[in-house]
Amino acid sequence: MEIKVRTLGMQLFFLVGVISFDAWQQYFYLSNFNILADGETISMWGLIQNHSLKWLVWVVFIFPFVFIMNKMDLWESSLTVSGMIKAISIIIGVIILAVCTISLMNSFQDEGALVWNYWVEVAWFTFFQKFATFMLGYLLVFYYMFHRYQLDHMEGKISTIREVKNSYRDLYEDLKEQSIQEETSVLYVKVGNKIKVVPVDKIQWIQSDDYCVRVHIDGHEYVLRKSMKAMEEMLPDNFIRVHRQAIVNTEFMNELVFNGRNLIILNNGTQVAIARSRLSEIRKVVKSL
């Protein structure tokens, strides 16, 4: 919002400055080079009004200029030689239309009708008087619109890149999770001087033991040097944390007890305590099974 207000302020400052300059320049020439007819007088205010009307016509013709540029899709190709030639040609054409309109207005204002000879004379005079400043004004409009197009185009690319990045991040997370689950289909447990392969789907529950965990399978215990958090992250979704010191495989759950002592009873009769903070989560898991 602040940038738009600043841009509008700069545009108004340009218009006021160029109108004042044109009026002062004409006033200087008329006053110092005996161009006025005998008895004819001029005022600075009258000249400002006259040039303000001309620049109002210039402002009106900004809209067809921008429309044509958009219609021909010239903003992107404007940096090429052919694109620049087309853009300048359009600007010159718009200036000619603006000059013709101003001359037509002067003809009706001064003569009361369209007088061809007078119209041609005023058109030539206005063209040579206003061409440079009108061209400068339209070039500034072109510069502003071109950079707006570039900015919008860049923001669109950034948005697309951001969407692609997010898509790849989601894909990476999915593949990472899938990879973890595939990798943890078995656990490698050191037993004496041997490494035992323990299928994850055979694990009934896991118990925390200081800096290690005890993996329970069919009445056997295997010790792993891993934290409960690490185990929780690497195991499949059918393993749930029921207590700070216990993770249970839902495939081996046989019964839930909520009678003051919150327990999970496994198929082999093992009782695992449920933390109060985990009750609601466990109920949701059980309902979804």
Structural domain boundaries of the chain? 2-170, 187-288
Provide the whole-model pTM: 0.45
Q: Which residues contact 94 (CB under 8 A, 6 or more apart)?
A: 61, 64, 65, 68, 138
DSSP state of 270: -
Tell me whether residue 42 is exposed, middle or buried, using C-beta atoms within 10 angstroms of its C-beta: 0 to 12, 13 to 18, 19 or more: middle
CB 215: neighbour CB atoms within 10 A?
A: 23
179 CB-near residues (< 8 Å, 6+ apart): none
The mean pLDDT value for 17-42 works out to 73
Please provide the DSSP assignment of 37-54 as one string: PTT----HHHHHHHHHHH
Region label for 210, one of left (φ > 0), alpha (ψ between -120 and 50) or beta (otherwise): left
Is 166 a residue whose pLDDT tops 80?
Answer: no
Question: pLDDT, tens digit, for every residue of 65-120?
Answer: 888 887 777 766 666 777 788 888 888 988 898 888 888 888 887 777 777 888 88
Residue type, 183: E
HEC per residue, 77-109: CCCCHHHHHHHHHHHHHHHHHHHHHHHHHHHHH
Say how far apart CA 50 and CA 95 lie, in whole Å: 17
Query: 187-288, what's its fold?
Result: OB fold (Dihydrolipoamide Acetyltransferase, E2P) (2.40.50)
d(CA 171, CA 211): 34
What pLDDT does 71 receive?
78
Alpha helix ranges (H) inside the chain: 2-32, 44-60, 62-71, 81-111, 116-183, 228-234, 279-288
Over the stretch 178-227, which tens digit does the pLDDT of each residue have?
A: 555 555 678 888 777 888 888 888 999 999 988 889 999 988 898 888 88
Of 11-25, 144-158, 159-173, 204-218, give the range with the top mean pLDDT.
204-218
Angle in degrees, CA 120, 43, 46, rounded to 5 = 55
Q: What's the rounded Cα separation, in Å, for the pair 181 and 199?
A: 12
